[in-house]
Amino acid sequence: MNWARYGEEGIRIVFGNTVSADVHEKVRRYYFFLKSLRLQEIIDIIPSFTTCIIHFNDQLTDFDTLIAHVREKEGDLQKIDIPTPVSHTIPVMYGGQYGPDMEFVCSYAGLAPDEIIEIHAGTVYTVFAVGFIPGFPYMGTLDKRLFVPRLETPRLKVNEGSVGIAQYQTGIYSFESPGGWRIIGKTDRMLFDHRQEPYSLMKIGDQVRFVPV
Amino acid sequence: MMEIVNPAWLSMVVDGGRYGHADIGVPPSPALDRYAYTALCRLLGYAAGIAAIEVIGNDFSLKVDRDLSCAITGARVTAFAGSMPVAPWKVFMAKAGSTIRVKEAIEGLRYYIGFSGIIDVAKVAGSCTTNLECRFGGYFGRPFLKGDRIALKDVRDAGERAIDESLIPSMKAPHILRIIDGEERDRFSPETLKSLFEKGGDPWYKVTTKTNRTGIRLEGRPLEFRKGTEQSIISEGILPGVVQVPGGGQPIIVLYERTIGGYARIGHVIKADRDLLAHLKPLDKVRFQRITRGEAERLWNEKTTQYYNMLP
């Protein structure tokens, strides 16, 4: 684990440099540990594949003080309660009007649409991070046969509910937004509801299975 | 009740930001010029912050149905309350039935209008600010339209207050953005770093039209990666002001609407210069200046002093 300054009001804690279940578990445990401290000096924590970013309030503390304070409590790291991951089943309409990049993915992977669907829906994915926009789950890892590069020029508008893939990841656009992932399907499940907590359907560590409909 | 007569190009409810939910991707979406927003709140007597209106564009106008203390901060504007000219960064009184009109922004882009009363909109995840992209918060999750009616509660008299002229920041060109090193700085070629930061280089970048609350897209000499270097990163948390460089080499300054990014980070715009980002508009020219962390801290301390000195 490596601690570094991140901009002026951030701390970057690096747990590894590869995407793996092992690194993910470390990130996840540390994230829940940081949360459990309920420090008012910490404004936000952003856990992802290999790092945790802490956004701290620099009027209340500084980098060295905050680190010392957190490390002092690290003895509790293995003792804290970590929520059991929730399993989600997400219905997806694959291809056609819902998956504008299905054709590209087929030709890139050298597979038929049915095979793409079978492979994509045949794996249980882990949510490695939630973000960029509210409720967007970064999930992995994809079967190697489905690895595709991002679009060279991202779309200015990806429809809400779009299911995309990029390299080792798959994700769901929780809102209409710009995006560069290859879109292979669409779900009508709501991933983020600002009207009630917990606003996001998914959180780090959750397990996801796609079901073709 | 207040009524929007002309919403200008874009006007919306903002506050200090929606914090505490970045772990599920909720961005802060605050007033982009935090100094101007803070000044507005202090002028009106709300030290802890209130909902205000952030506006881009000329001819914004709003009709009030009662005597009301108001203030305008941010971009330098020519404004009127009824037929009376209004001084910027100073409390003024709008009479019942009169119209507050901002004719034009003379310097800077975004301006902030606040009232000595609470704009009555529901909080979402602890904040009144508008997330335009996701359509929540603020006024029904959207920008104002002509005819929108806004209720004010707990209206009081703000008294006479003004921000001293010396504490009003300049938003004039040339725009120099000071940055500290980013995590992937070493992935860029020595020539690119030299051209970007040293005298005799070609350091000017143009703000493009693909610029909004999410980010400022720049266009200029493409930033080149070292040969054979990985260009993207494993996506991870980002903070406002980070300068990301996609494969094409044109930098993007990330504002307050994203929590995770996957592009190489060449630098971070320092806190002391971040409010200036709220005022950059298409065709503006900017350049980066690399400074040390120590200098950045000193500049922020200076700015903090300005915050303290805003009002006696």
Query: Is residue A204 over pLDDT 90?
Result: yes
Q: Which residues of B touch A198 (CB under 8 A)?
A: 24
- B180 CB within 8 Å of a chain A CB: yes
The interface predicted TM-score (ipTM) is 0.97
- Give the per-residue pLDDT at B312: 65
* Structure confidence at residue B173 as a pLDDT band (50, 70, 90): confident
Domain borders along chain B are: 2-167, 175-308
pLDDT digits (tens, 9 = 90+) for B85-119: 999 999 999 999 999 999 999 999 999 999 999 99
Please calculate the CA angle B4-B10-B13 and round it to the nearest 5 degrees. 65
Query: Is residue B310 over pLDDT 90?
Result: no
What distance in Å separates residue A96's CA from the closest CA in chain B?
Answer: 26
Q: What is the mean pLDDT of residues B210-231?
A: 94
Spatial distance between the Cα atoms of B129 and B132, rounded to a whole number of angstroms: 9
- Give the per-residue pLDDT at B295: 97
In three-state form (DSSP H/G/I as H, E/B as E, the rest C), the secondary structure along B250-298 is CCEEECCCCCEEEEEEEEEECHHHHHHHHHCCCCCEEEEEECCHHHHHH
Are B23 and A203 an interchain contact pair (Cβ–Cβ within 8 Å)? yes
Percent of chain B with pLDDT over 90: 90
* Structure confidence at residue A1 as a pLDDT band (50, 70, 90): confident
CB-side neighbour CA atoms (13 Å) of B38: 14
- Give the per-residue pLDDT at B200: 66
Cα separation values, B28 from A88, A164, B23, B125, B285, Å? 27, 25, 12, 10, 27
Spatial distance between the Cα atoms of A115 and A95, rounded to a whole number of angstroms: 12
Q: Both tokens of residue A177?
A: 């937004």
- Give the per-residue pLDDT at B233: 94
Considering only CB atoms, B125 lies closest to which of A47, A48, A199, namely A199
Q: Are the C-beta atoms of residues B202 and B242 closer than 8 Å to each other?
A: no
- Give the per-residue pLDDT at A154: 86
Residue B69 CA to its chain's centroid (Å) = 23
Of the candidate ranges A39-43, A78-82, A169-173, B139-143, the one whose mean pLDDT is the lowest: A78-82
Q: Both tokens of residue A107?
A: 């030709």
Instruction: Confirm whether pTM is higher than 0.90.
Output: yes
B131 strand-pairing partners: B136
Considering only CB atoms, A134 lies closest to which of B20, B134, B239, namely B134
What distance in Å separates residue A8's CA from the closest CA in chain B?
Answer: 7
Are B271 and A8 an interchain contact pair (Cβ–Cβ within 8 Å)? yes
- Give the per-residue pLDDT at B47: 87
Query: Is residue B265 over pLDDT 90?
Result: yes
Q: What is the mean pLDDT of residues A128-149?
A: 97
Query: Can you tell me which residue has the tokens 């005298």?
Result: B199
pLDDT digits (tens, 9 = 90+) for A52-86: 999 999 999 999 999 999 999 999 999 999 999 99
Spatial distance between the Cα atoms of A207 and A86, rounded to a whole number of angstroms: 6
The greatest distance separating any two alpha carbons of chain A, rounded to the nearest whole angstrom, comes to 57
pLDDT digits (tens, 9 = 90+) for B52-69: 999 999 999 999 999 999
* Structure confidence at residue B201 as a pLDDT band (50, 70, 90): low
Spatial distance between the Cα atoms of A89 and A213, rounded to a whole number of angstroms: 12
CATH class of the domain comprising B175-308 = mainly beta
Percent of chain A with pLDDT over 90: 97
